[in-house]
Amino acid sequence: MDTVLVTGGAGFIGIHTVIALLEKKYRILIIDSLINSSKKSIERLISKNLLKKESINSQIIFINGDIRDVNFLRSVFKKASKSGHIIKYVLHFAGLKSISDSILFPDEYWEVNVIGTKRLLKVMKENNCHNFVFSSSATVYSLDEKSPLKENSSLSPNNQYGYTKLAVEKFLEGLVHDQERFWRIVCLRYFNPIGAHPSGDFGESPLNTPNNLFPYLCQVASKKRKKLYIFGQNWPTSDGTCIRDYIHIMDLAEGHIAAIDYIKSGAKEPFLIINLGTGLGTSVLELVKTFENVNNLRIDYEFIERREKDKAIVYADPNFAKRILNWEAKRNIFDMCKDGWNWQKKNPDGY
Ligand code: NAD
Ligand code: UD1
């Protein structure tokens, strides 16, 4: 049983990926500072024991700590090797992700997202662990680029958050370039992950007012918020609202398993950047209507002004992922709306 270190594993994408890793029989070490999540996600995962594994208590270990703390990271690797479970792969989700906060607190975003990642890589190297999967974002693409976005489309983030993601990608590329003998690195550029685990026991659990469309929509559906405000109705799209590439969280999680498999099978390319999206665009209104129809409810909404620096149409070209990772999204927008609402209904206040 190989051991995977999952940073930020208590968060939205992390916990769903841990579920996918469990299914593939990995041993999982989670580290998280819990700054944007709760330990309850992990406790629930262990207590629910979805896969009915007797070994669940030893298969997942959680350690609370910060990726900026080198001594903490060293202790994690030491503990793992002392127990005979050397860390073989690192899935790096830990990071700060609010665009608006990144503009208000750029120092903190660079500290956590860039310096924190560099410290993690340093401790990995000290421990002879060189297999790394990084959570990047479609936000690195230029606003001027036309969709479908390919991995070699031009890059130009328009906020500090995006710059931190691009900076890490570049650092990783340089690392592999200089030390190709060692590193095997996959950067995954996520499009718009939404939905929840089909059990309804795991999902997105925002601690503050959600910035993104889907968690906000779910909270309107559960009457936590009065109405949805749609940013603009005169975009150059068929119904006037923006189009995005929404991807089911479990498809995204499985994309990480495919990335590990790629590294495991010898990683022909030591450094890769890969889009994780469906290749399909859905407008805000289409998403709202689908959510209403699938779940048999009504969403109150109002059009307001466009959001600053928004873009009319963003969707991925997912062909590279299909070719290289042999991965493609299997779930559709109906599944995303059904599973997302199931989670919200069962857990109106999160975990
Ligand atoms: P999340 O906030 O739910 O999860 C991130 C986790 O990292 C949280 O549990 C948080 O407590 C932890 N964390 C933050 N700073 C830390 C630190 N210094 N040390 C240790 N742990 C720390 O976010 P998510 O949606 O699960 O995103 C995971 C990753 O994917 C992030 O790096 C994010 O930038 C990236 N990403 C997310 C999206 C998205 O739409 N959710 C899109 C593109 C990229
Ligand atoms: C946002 C981030 C992007 C990140 C992506 C996935 C911004 C500017 N960009 O992009 O960096 O990679 O999430 O996490 O935040 N909308 C509304 N009302 C709302 C919220 C959103 O109408 O209350 C609209 C937006 O105008 C957009 C669509 O819904 O057209 C999706 O918005 P959102 O969920 O924030 O995702 P992105 O805009 O793709």
Indicate which ligand has the atom closest to the C-alpha of 239: 2
Positions marked catalytic: 161
CA gap 84, 86 in Å, rounded: 6
**Which residue from 83, 70, 105 is spatially nearest to 29, judged by alpha carbons?**
83
- % of residues, the chain, pLDDT over 70: 99
pLDDT-based confidence at 57, cuts 50/70/90?
confident
36: tokens are 């944007």
Residue-averaged pLDDT of the chain? 96
pLDDT digit string, tens, across residues 257-312 = 999 999 999 988 999 999 999 999 999 999 999 999 999 999 999 999 999 989 99
pLDDT digit string, tens, across residues 35-49 = 999 999 999 999 887
What is residue 105's predicted lDDT score, i.e. its pLDDT? 96
**Which residue from 266, 279, 281 is spatially nearest to 324, judged by alpha carbons?**
266
Q: Where are the beta strands (DSSP E) in the chain?
A: 3-7, 27-32, 60-64, 87-92, 131-137, 184-190, 192-194, 228-231, 243-244, 246-248, 271-276, 282-283, 301-304
CA gap 226, 66 in Å, rounded: 36
d(CA 96, ligand 1 centre) in Å: 6
pLDDT at 98 over 80: yes
Please list the residues that pair with 268 across neighbouring strands: none
pLDDT digit string, tens, across residues 6-24 = 999 999 999 999 999 999 9
> What pTM, to 2 d.p., does this model score?
0.97
pLDDT at 75 over 80: yes
Residue whose CA is at the smallest distance from ligand 1 atom 43: 137
d(CA 226, ligand 2 centre) in Å: 19
The reply to whether ligand 1 has any atom less than 6 angstroms from the CB of 60 is no
Q: 3-state DSSP call for residue 174?
A: helix
pLDDT digit string, tens, across residues 176-188 = 999 888 999 999 9
The distance from CA 188 to its chain's CA centroid, rounded to whole angstroms, is 9
What is residue 286's predicted lDDT score, i.e. its pLDDT? 98
- Asked if residue 103 lies in contact with residue 146, where contact means CB atoms within 8 angstroms, the answer is no
The reply to whether ligand 1 has any atom less than 6 angstroms from the CB of 205 is no
CA gap 316, 80 in Å, rounded: 38
pLDDT-based confidence at 29, cuts 50/70/90?
very high
